[in-house]
Amino acid sequence: MHILDGKTALVTGATGLIGSNLCYEILSKSTAKVIALSRSKDKLEKVFGEYLSKPNFSYIAKDICEPLNISERIDCIFHAASPISGAVISEQPVNVILPNIEGIKNCLDFMKNQEQTTGIKGRIIVFSSATVYSNNIVSDRTVSEDDTECETKINAPNAPYADSKRMSEILASAYCKQYGVDAVIARIGYVYGYCKELPNTAFYSFIKTALDGQDIAIKNPSMARRDNIYIDDVISGLFTIYERGVSGEAYNISSAGEKGNFAAADEMAGIITDIVNKEKMTEKTVSINYLSDEKPRQPGIILCNTKLKSFGWTLKNSLYDGIEKTIEKYVEEVI
């Protein structure tokens, strides 16, 4: 039995890393119906091509910033829609803020209206981020769900993303308190894993570069370490808080740095080159070119996952194993 058997799940941001893998897992492991929502019809049909003719799958091509007009019963919404590219955050900040704030409002309004008109009470899983804890620190720091007093500077480059994620949490909590909407918040670490639509981030650029037989260039060898977590562990964490999470509360879905997952981008690049060379995935041995001198590493944040573990959840994938699984899937796809 799967916790979603017989239910209907709406997944926003369905073509992204978490959204697509979440849909695959639900469709392959349960009897649930999945409605995948994303802006691009072409991407939806590319990512879910094998499921298009299945009776338990359908999609909606629309912007989550538009109100949800869905006539069928929705038992749960996994709100994953949110741009994560550094370039988009820097150059198109409005396109980051609106999906995070208007998007969650539309999900909350849908669930509120559904219960008021039909009596059906669904549950929303709000996708938040490690960035709500800010990185305004002087040394490596471990944070629990209550440690949200350290905010991002209002003019910081990532403020459009970090602060709109904070506001999405505040809005969800407000709907819980004022309207009784059932919403649980997932503060997710830095996720890595296979995604058919290649995300525009350094990690995926490193993989593509290495598999092309080219050396990886690292501009900044002193980047902060991050709390990385493999996609399969994220999915199991999401199901755990869907089933057992308390409405209105937040849960870190994170590695807590276990199994080598507290690592910086340049360290992940080193693992990528090791795997590509060990498995002889290219004719040329690839290496890392550092474009600047090494400096003291910037401090990073570890997300305590004790609260999630209290439900019986455990982290299964080491950083090395997770990266290896990711690369092997891309080799199969020949990116």
Tens of pLDDT, residue by residue over 57-97, are 999 999 999 999 999 999 999 999 988 777 888 889 999 99
Q: Average the pLDDT over 302-321 and give the result.
A: 98
- pLDDT of 334 over the 80 cut: no
Domains and CATH numbers, the chain: 8-197+228-262+297-318 (3.40.50.720)
DSSP 8-state symbol, 85: -
Residue type at 235?
I
Strand partners, 35: 10, 58
- pLDDT, tens digit (0-9, with 9 covering 90-100), for 221-257: 888 999 999 999 999 999 999 999 999 999 999 999 9
Burial class (CB in 10 A: 0-12, 13-18, 19+), 27: buried
Is residue 53's pLDDT more than 60?
yes
In percent, how much of the chain has pLDDT > 70? 99
Dihedral sign for Cα atoms in the order 298, 145, 90, 48:
positive
User: Got the DSSP string for 223-241?
Assistant: PPPEEEEEHHHHHHHHHHH
Residue 267 has pLDDT above 70, yes or no: yes
> What pLDDT, on a 0 to 100 scale, did the predictor assign at position 138?
81
Strands (E), 2-79: 8-12, 33-38, 57-61, 76-79
- Three-class secondary structure of residue 244 per DSSP: helix
**Rounded percentage of the chain residues whose pLDDT exceeds 90:** 84
The span from the CA of 247 to the CA of 295, in Å, is: 44
Predicted pLDDT at 250? 98
Which residues are CB-contacts of 256 (< 8 A; sequence separation ≥ 6)?
142, 227, 302, 303, 304, 305, 306, 315
pLDDT tens by residue, 106-138 = 999 999 999 999 999 999 999 999 999 987 778
Residue 198: pLDDT band with limits 50, 70, 90: confident
Distance of CA 81 to the CA centre of its chain: 9
Cα–Cα dist 241/185, whole Å: 9
Q: With 0-12 CB in 10 A as exposed, 13-18 as middle and 19+ as buried, what is 247?
A: middle
Give the mean pLDDT of 13-38: 97
* pLDDT of the residue at 335: 54
Q: Which of 189-198, 288-297, 307-316 has the highest mean pLDDT?
A: 307-316
Instruction: Indicate whether 293 pLDDT > 90.
Output: no
114 Cβ neighbours under 8 A, 6+ residues apart: 73, 74, 120, 121, 122
Is residue 316 a contact partner of residue 232, using CB atoms and an 8 Å limit?
A: yes
